Amino acid sequence: MITTTGKRVAGAVAASAVGLTLMAVSAGTASAADVTGSCSSKGSTANYSATYKTASGKDWITKLSWQLGGAKKVGNKNNVEARAKYDKTLGHDTIKHTWISGDNAKANGSKNVSGWDMKRSEKSYVEFKFAIDVKGADPHCSGHTASF
């Protein structure tokens, strides 16, 4: 009887340990969020976003996305620049990561990025700059996401 109870206790302890392990793994799972923004120039518009997740005490930017439009048809030779920055209250905002497209960014595009880590202890944002490919002179606009 004692052996059987001991096995049950051992089984219950093992089951509890597995349950606690699963809870710890679930608690450590990162969730993704988007921060967005928009800009416009000469009838053309850009909507953009950065997707990030929080893991290992950092915010990890994983994807940059944009949608270009407006009064004129947008071509496929757009230029996109994105910079992840720390939001400093005073002085120059520090650039941590940069991506610059070729002269071929699609009007509705995205770029998966890796290794774009940002300290959780500092506010961050992503700045976007666009040259929008339309017939005639290409309008330029820029802006940034909300801080996260």
Number of CB atoms found within 10 A of residue 73's CB: 10
Residue 82 banded pLDDT, cuts 50, 70, 90: very high
Residue reference for tokens 């518009």 = 45
pTM: 0.78
Residue 66 banded pLDDT, cuts 50, 70, 90: very high
As given in the structure block, the two tokens for residue 75 are 């071509």
Listed residue (91, 47, 92) closest to 66, CA to CA: 47
| Predicted local distance difference test score (pLDDT) of residue 35 | 97
We find that the CATH architecture of domain 32-144 is Sandwich (2.60)
Average pLDDT rounded to a whole number, residues 42-59: 96
pLDDT at 54 over 60: yes
C-alpha torsion sign, points 79, 85, 87, 90: negative
Residue 13 banded pLDDT, cuts 50, 70, 90: very low
Per DSSP, the three-state class of 102 is: coil
